[in-house]
Protein backbone atom coordinates (compact mmCIF):
# COMPACT_ATOMS: atom_id res chain seq x y z
CA UNK A 1 0.00 0.00 0.00
CA UNK A 2 1.31 3.45 -0.80
CA UNK A 3 2.44 5.59 2.10
CA UNK A 4 1.99 9.34 2.55
CA UNK A 5 3.00 11.92 5.10
CA UNK A 6 -0.18 13.46 6.51
CA UNK A 7 -0.56 17.21 5.97
CA UNK A 8 -3.40 17.67 8.45
CA UNK A 9 -5.17 15.28 10.79
CA UNK A 10 -8.92 15.47 11.50
CA UNK A 11 -11.16 13.23 13.57
CA UNK A 12 -11.87 10.32 11.25
CA UNK A 13 -9.99 11.73 8.30
CA UNK A 14 -6.70 13.23 7.25
CA UNK A 15 -5.78 15.48 4.35
CA UNK A 16 -2.89 15.33 1.92
CA UNK A 17 -1.85 18.56 0.23
CA UNK A 18 0.99 20.03 -1.85
CA UNK A 19 3.65 17.52 -2.89
CA UNK A 20 1.90 14.59 -1.21
CA UNK A 21 -1.30 15.36 -3.14
CA UNK A 22 0.73 15.86 -6.35
CA UNK A 23 2.40 12.51 -5.96
CA UNK A 24 -0.87 10.71 -5.27
CA UNK A 25 -2.80 12.31 -8.12
CA UNK A 26 -0.23 12.78 -10.89
CA UNK A 27 2.37 10.10 -10.31
CA UNK A 28 0.51 7.22 -8.67
CA UNK A 29 -2.88 8.19 -10.20
CA UNK A 30 -4.82 6.83 -7.25
CA UNK A 31 -8.59 7.22 -7.10
CA UNK A 32 -11.36 7.42 -4.49
CA UNK A 33 -11.80 3.94 -3.07
CA UNK A 34 -8.08 3.12 -3.18
CA UNK A 35 -6.46 2.32 0.14
CA UNK A 36 -3.44 4.19 1.43
CA UNK A 37 -1.40 4.47 4.61
CA UNK A 38 -0.93 7.93 6.10
CA UNK A 39 1.69 8.50 8.76
CA UNK A 40 2.06 11.38 11.17
CA UNK A 41 5.64 12.62 11.26
CA UNK A 42 5.12 14.17 14.71
CA UNK A 43 3.39 11.40 16.62
CA UNK A 44 4.61 8.23 14.87
CA UNK A 45 1.01 7.16 14.27
CA UNK A 46 0.07 5.27 11.15
CA UNK A 47 -3.45 5.36 9.66
CA UNK A 48 -4.73 2.75 7.22
CA UNK A 49 -7.36 4.58 5.20
CA UNK A 50 -9.38 4.81 2.02
CA UNK A 51 -9.34 7.79 -0.36
CA UNK A 52 -12.65 9.58 -0.04
CA UNK A 53 -12.33 12.72 -2.17
CA UNK A 54 -9.79 14.26 -4.52
CA UNK A 55 -10.03 18.07 -4.91
CA UNK A 56 -7.84 20.74 -6.48
CA UNK A 57 -5.77 21.42 -3.41
CA UNK A 58 -6.25 18.39 -1.19
CA UNK A 59 -7.07 14.72 -0.95
CA UNK A 60 -9.36 13.56 1.87
CA UNK A 61 -8.78 10.07 3.29
CA UNK A 62 -11.11 8.30 5.67
CA UNK A 63 -9.34 6.51 8.50
CA UNK A 64 -10.16 2.82 8.93
CA UNK A 65 -7.65 1.91 11.62
CA UNK A 66 -4.81 3.47 13.58
CA UNK A 67 -1.53 1.96 14.70
CA UNK A 68 1.64 3.07 16.40
CA UNK A 69 4.22 0.73 14.88
CA UNK A 70 7.50 0.33 16.70
CA UNK A 71 9.50 0.95 13.57
CA UNK A 72 11.72 3.88 14.52
CA UNK A 73 15.10 3.54 16.22
CA UNK A 74 15.00 4.22 19.96
CA UNK A 75 18.40 5.85 19.85
CA UNK A 76 18.70 9.22 18.12
CA UNK A 77 21.63 8.96 15.76
CA UNK A 78 22.55 11.83 13.44
CA UNK A 79 24.97 11.90 10.52
CA UNK A 80 27.05 15.01 9.94
CA UNK A 81 28.48 14.52 6.48
CA UNK A 82 31.29 16.51 4.91
CA UNK A 83 30.12 17.67 1.48
CA UNK A 84 31.18 15.08 -1.10
CA UNK A 85 30.90 14.83 -4.85
CA UNK A 86 28.40 13.39 -7.23
CA UNK A 87 25.73 11.12 -5.91
CA UNK A 88 27.45 10.23 -2.66
CA UNK A 89 25.34 12.59 -0.53
CA UNK A 90 22.16 11.19 -2.08
CA UNK A 91 23.27 7.59 -1.38
CA UNK A 92 24.13 8.35 2.22
CA UNK A 93 20.81 10.15 2.77
CA UNK A 94 18.84 7.31 1.19
CA UNK A 95 20.61 4.48 2.95
CA UNK A 96 20.94 6.42 6.20
CA UNK A 97 17.18 6.89 6.21
CA UNK A 98 16.47 3.20 5.57
CA UNK A 99 18.85 2.23 8.35
CA UNK A 100 17.16 4.60 10.82
CA UNK A 101 19.05 7.86 11.21
CA UNK A 102 17.33 10.75 12.96
CA UNK A 103 18.68 13.45 10.64
CA UNK A 104 21.63 14.57 8.56
CA UNK A 105 23.59 17.81 8.57
CA UNK A 106 25.65 18.58 5.46
CA UNK A 107 28.95 20.14 6.52
CA UNK A 108 31.40 22.31 4.61
CA UNK A 109 34.89 20.97 5.28
CA UNK A 110 38.39 22.06 4.26
CA UNK A 111 38.89 19.19 1.84
CA UNK A 112 35.40 19.17 0.33
CA UNK A 113 35.71 19.37 -3.42
CA UNK A 114 32.02 20.16 -3.69
CA UNK A 115 31.14 23.75 -2.82
CA UNK A 116 27.62 24.81 -1.87
CA UNK A 117 26.57 28.35 -1.03
CA UNK A 118 23.49 30.56 -0.99
CA UNK A 119 20.45 29.58 -3.00
CA UNK A 120 22.28 26.67 -4.60
CA UNK A 121 22.77 25.21 -1.14
CA UNK A 122 19.11 25.77 -0.25
CA UNK A 123 17.90 24.09 -3.43
CA UNK A 124 20.13 21.14 -2.82
CA UNK A 125 18.82 20.70 0.72
CA UNK A 126 15.25 20.72 -0.64
CA UNK A 127 16.22 17.96 -3.06
CA UNK A 128 17.96 15.98 -0.35
CA UNK A 129 14.90 16.27 1.89
CA UNK A 130 12.81 14.72 -0.92
CA UNK A 131 15.21 11.80 -1.06
CA UNK A 132 14.89 11.33 2.69
CA UNK A 133 11.12 11.52 2.36
CA UNK A 134 10.97 8.83 -0.35
CA UNK A 135 13.40 6.59 1.52
CA UNK A 136 11.39 6.93 4.75
CA UNK A 137 8.25 5.80 2.93
CA UNK A 138 10.01 2.92 1.22
CA UNK A 139 11.39 1.63 4.50
CA UNK A 140 7.99 2.03 6.24
CA UNK A 141 9.22 4.60 8.71
CA UNK A 142 6.75 6.94 10.40
CA UNK A 143 9.26 9.68 10.89
CA UNK A 144 11.13 11.41 8.13
CA UNK A 145 14.74 12.35 8.95
CA UNK A 146 15.40 16.09 8.74
CA UNK A 147 18.11 17.27 6.38
CA UNK A 148 19.36 20.51 7.91
CA UNK A 149 20.78 23.52 6.11
CA UNK A 150 24.40 23.26 4.98
CA UNK A 151 26.56 24.19 7.97
CA UNK A 152 30.06 25.30 8.77
CA UNK A 153 32.02 23.97 11.73
CA UNK A 154 31.17 27.04 13.83
CA UNK A 155 27.39 26.46 13.35
CA UNK A 156 27.53 22.82 14.30
CA UNK A 157 27.19 22.96 18.06
CA UNK A 158 23.82 24.73 17.90
CA UNK A 159 22.56 22.46 15.12
CA UNK A 160 22.15 19.50 17.45
CA UNK A 161 20.92 19.12 21.07
CA UNK A 162 23.41 20.28 23.74
CA UNK A 163 23.78 16.79 25.23
CA UNK A 164 24.84 15.23 21.91
CA UNK A 165 27.66 12.69 22.05
CA UNK A 166 29.97 13.28 19.07
CA UNK A 167 31.97 10.58 17.29
CA UNK A 168 34.56 11.28 14.61
CA UNK A 169 35.81 8.26 12.66
CA UNK A 170 39.35 9.22 11.66
CA UNK A 171 41.87 7.17 9.70
CA UNK A 172 44.74 8.66 11.74
CA UNK A 173 43.20 7.30 14.98
CA UNK A 174 45.21 4.16 15.58
CA UNK A 175 44.31 3.09 19.09
CA UNK A 176 40.73 3.91 20.06
CA UNK A 177 38.34 1.56 18.27
CA UNK A 178 34.65 2.37 17.73
CA UNK A 179 33.70 -0.85 19.51
CA UNK A 180 35.24 0.30 22.79
CA UNK A 181 33.76 3.81 22.62
CA UNK A 182 30.26 2.44 21.93
CA UNK A 183 30.26 0.87 25.37
CA UNK A 184 30.66 4.28 26.99
CA UNK A 185 27.80 5.99 25.11
CA UNK A 186 24.44 6.77 26.72
CA UNK A 187 21.61 5.64 24.40
CA UNK A 188 19.24 8.16 26.01
CA UNK A 189 21.34 11.04 24.68
CA UNK A 190 21.64 11.85 20.97
CA UNK A 191 24.67 10.56 19.07
CA UNK A 192 26.23 12.38 16.11
CA UNK A 193 28.67 10.78 13.67
CA UNK A 194 31.02 13.17 11.85
CA UNK A 195 32.03 11.79 8.43
CA UNK A 196 34.76 13.45 6.40
CA UNK A 197 34.65 14.18 2.65
CA UNK A 198 36.65 12.18 0.10
CA UNK A 199 39.98 13.57 1.27
CA UNK A 200 39.13 12.97 4.92
CA UNK A 201 39.23 15.55 7.69
CA UNK A 202 42.01 18.09 8.13
CA UNK A 203 43.78 17.55 11.49
CA UNK A 204 42.67 21.02 12.62
CA UNK A 205 39.06 20.00 12.04
CA UNK A 206 39.52 16.88 14.15
CA UNK A 207 41.10 19.00 16.90
CA UNK A 208 38.18 21.45 16.73
CA UNK A 209 35.67 18.59 17.01
CA UNK A 210 37.52 17.18 20.01
CA UNK A 211 37.94 20.50 21.82
CA UNK A 212 34.69 22.32 21.03
CA UNK A 213 32.29 19.40 20.64
CA UNK A 214 33.97 16.87 22.92
CA UNK A 215 34.12 14.47 19.99
CA UNK A 216 35.83 11.11 20.44
CA UNK A 217 37.97 10.10 17.48
CA UNK A 218 37.59 6.42 16.59
CA UNK A 219 39.10 3.89 14.26
CA UNK A 220 36.74 1.81 12.12
CA UNK A 221 39.36 -0.93 11.73
CA UNK A 222 42.38 -1.56 9.53
CA UNK A 223 40.84 -1.11 6.07
CA UNK A 224 40.36 2.28 4.45
CA UNK A 225 36.72 3.06 3.72
CA UNK A 226 35.31 5.52 1.22
CA UNK A 227 33.36 8.38 2.76
CA UNK A 228 29.95 6.95 1.91
CA UNK A 229 30.93 3.46 3.11
CA UNK A 230 32.19 4.91 6.38
CA UNK A 231 28.92 6.79 6.87
CA UNK A 232 26.72 3.76 6.32
CA UNK A 233 28.96 1.33 8.22
CA UNK A 234 29.35 3.57 11.29
CA UNK A 235 25.62 4.31 11.41
CA UNK A 236 24.93 0.56 11.14
CA UNK A 237 27.36 -0.31 13.93
CA UNK A 238 26.02 2.36 16.30
CA UNK A 239 22.36 1.42 15.72
CA UNK A 240 23.14 -2.31 15.94
CA UNK A 241 25.01 -1.82 19.22
CA UNK A 242 21.85 -0.37 20.77
CA UNK A 243 19.55 -3.00 19.27
CA UNK A 244 18.02 -0.71 16.66
CA UNK A 245 19.28 -2.84 13.76
CA UNK A 246 20.06 -6.50 13.27
Phi-psi category of residue 93: left, alpha or beta, with phi > 0 → left and psi -120 to 50 → alpha: alpha
Residue from 85, 140, 149, 212 binding its own copies (CB under 8 A): 140
Query: For residues 97-136, which are near its own copies according to CB under 8 A?
Result: 98-100
236 lies in the site for its own copies, by CB under 8 A: yes
Shortest Cβ distance from residue 144 to its own copies (Å)? 13
25 lies in the site for its own copies, by CB under 8 A: no
Q: Which of 80, 151, 96 is nearest to 121 (CA)?
A: 151
Shortest Cβ distance from residue 85 to its own copies (Å)? 15
Residue from 55, 64, 66, 69 binding its own copies (CB under 8 A): 69
95 lies in the site for its own copies, by CB under 8 A: yes
Per-residue CA distances from 124 to 65, 88, 111, 185 (Å): 37, 13, 19, 33
What 3-state DSSP class applies to 98?
helix
Nearer to its own copies, 120 or 177 (CB): 177
Shortest Cβ distance from residue 101 to its own copies (Å)? 11
H/E stretch holding 3 reads strand 3-5
Cite the DSSP H helix spans in 72-177.
Answer: 88-99, 118-138, 153-159
CA–CA distance, 107 with 151 (Å, rounded to integer): 5
220 lies in the site for its own copies, by CB under 8 A: yes
* Residue numbers at the binding site for its own copies (CB under 8 A): 69-71, 95, 98-100, 138-141, 177-179, 182, 220-226, 229, 232-234, 236-237, 240, 243-246
Amino acid sequence: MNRFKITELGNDVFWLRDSEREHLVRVLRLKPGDMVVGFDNKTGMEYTSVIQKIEDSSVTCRILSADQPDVEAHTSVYLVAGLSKGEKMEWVIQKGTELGMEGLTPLRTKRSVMQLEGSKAQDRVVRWQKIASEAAKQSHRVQEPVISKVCDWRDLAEQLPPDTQWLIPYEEELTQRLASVLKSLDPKRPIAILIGPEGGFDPTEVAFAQEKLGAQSVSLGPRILRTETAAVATLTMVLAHFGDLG
